[in-house]
Amino acid sequence: MHSILARVREEALPIARQGKTADYIPALSSADPAALGLALFDAQGAMHSCGEAERRFSIQSISKVLALAYVMSELGEAAVFSRVGKEPSGDPFNSIIRLETSAKRRPFNPFINAGAIVVSSLMPGADASERNEGFIAFVRRLAHNPGLAMDEAVFLSERESAARNRSIAWFLKELKLIEGEVDDCLDGYFMQCALSMNAVELSRIGAALAMDGIDPSTGQRALSARASRVIKSLMVTCGMYDGSGEFAVDVGIPAKSGVGGGILAAVRDRYGIGVYGPALDERGNSIAGIEALKRLSGALDLRVL
């Protein structure tokens, strides 16, 4: 398996030159665009990795998967989907236009920024710090790392460059989809996005999703089967921003990306996959990471669609 991962990484790495790191969040712009790490956690609990798989980075929009899992586990499915839809938008992740033009006047899904801000605001806790403490404790259990923490520099950078997200949040407030103070809701959202992880940890979480909520390293249930299936379905339709359809055709597995360069993927009953490659394409997805997953899907016959 290591030789397959190493070959895939070598073949995918040159395409990183066609991408660039996220510069609209200043703290992300300094990442090494030539980095590429792959990690695969299998159904028997074995880890396989290569490249920069243990390099830490802020997970950004991958946190939307984890926040959805957390809120569903704490409050139930109806609490989320009474305020957020389950449909792909076809728009960029930070678009605001559908909130104003759609008849339902709510975010299309939990994986665009508008939907994720709503989900984040639903976390239990009196303020952003308390909500984030509960969220990180939840992710620590999934990742088997009690030391997971927020990257303070990324949090501050994101908060200081958040004009678009502030516009979205104030519109959500007008629509009565978030409660409490807008700045506090946004701080909680920025904190979850700034959570620092690596591809190895992402692959462990992906494996639990792949096994419908059973952690293959312990045999214990980490997530409900229903939550796992809802999340994977949304990953297929909405997980790769407005490139989700193309990714489904080319790779054929549930996945969620983040502008920090990460990708979390789950192959039913087989593997969890974590990827780190901070050079992004025009949609905000890891350009070398997608290429690696295309090649890995072909090499291991991963397609589930």
Q: Which two tokens stand for residue 151?
A: 């990257």
Catalytic residue at 70? no
Rounded to an integer, the average pLDDT of 159-184 is 93
Query: C-alpha angle with apex 24: 137 to 135, nearest 5 degrees?
Result: 10
In whole angstroms, give the CA distance from residue 134 to residue 52: 29
Which of 224, 255, 231, 284 lies closest to 93 in space, CA to CA?
A: 284
Res 24: pLDDT: 85
Res 103: pLDDT: 64
Per-residue pLDDT reduced to its tens digit, 1-14: 999 999 999 999 99
Rounded to an integer, the average pLDDT of 72-86 is 96
List of E strands, 119-221: 149-150, 195-197
Rounded to an integer, the average pLDDT of 204-217 is 97
User: Is-contact 195 139, C-beta < 8 A?
Assistant: yes
From residue 264, how far is each of 55, 83, 98, 126, 168 by CA, in Å? 15, 25, 26, 30, 25
User: Is-contact 9 3, C-beta < 8 A?
Assistant: no
Res 89: pLDDT: 78
Catalytic residue at 230? no
Contacts 24+ apart (CB under 8 A), 44-52: 44/216, 45/216, 45/217, 47/200, 47/203, 47/204, 48/1, 48/2, 48/5, 49/2, 49/5, 49/199, 49/200, 49/203, 50/2, 50/5, 50/6, 50/9, 51/6, 51/9, 51/276, 52/199, 52/276
Catalytic residue at 189? yes
Res 100: pLDDT: 72
Res 94: pLDDT: 65
pLDDT mean across residues, the chain = 95
Among residues 70, 241, 271, 276, which one is catalytic? Answer: 241
Among residues 70, 189, 271, 276, which one is catalytic? Answer: 189
Per-residue pLDDT reduced to its tens digit, 102-140: 767 889 999 999 999 999 999 999 999 999 999 999 999
Q: Please tell me whether the overall predicted TM-score, pTM, comes out greater than 0.75 for this model.
A: yes
Q: Which residues contact 46 (CB under 8 A, 6 or more apart)?
A: none
* Range 61-193: architecture per CATH: Orthogonal Bundle (1.10)
* Paired residues of 265 in beta bridges: 255, 273
Q: Which residues contact 75 (CB under 8 A, 6 or more apart)?
A: 122, 124
Q: Which two tokens stand for residue 220?
A: 């214990």
Per-residue pLDDT reduced to its tens digit, 283-303: 999 999 999 999 999 999 999
Among residues 49, 61, 203, 244, which one is catalytic? Answer: 61
Among residues 139, 259, 267, 275, which one is catalytic? Answer: 259
The domain covering 2-55+199-217+235-299 belongs, at the CATH homologous superfamily level, to DD-peptidase/beta-lactamase superfamily (3.40.710.10)
Q: Helix and strand tally (H, E) in the chain? A: 13, 8
User: Is-contact 116 258, C-beta < 8 A?
Assistant: no
From residue 186, how far is each of 71, 210, 212 by CA, in Å? 16, 31, 31
Domain ranges of the chain: 2-55+199-217+235-299, 61-193
Per-residue pLDDT reduced to its tens digit, 40-49: 999 999 999 9
Q: Which two tokens stand for residue 128?
A: 């952003």
Place of tokens 């989907």: 81
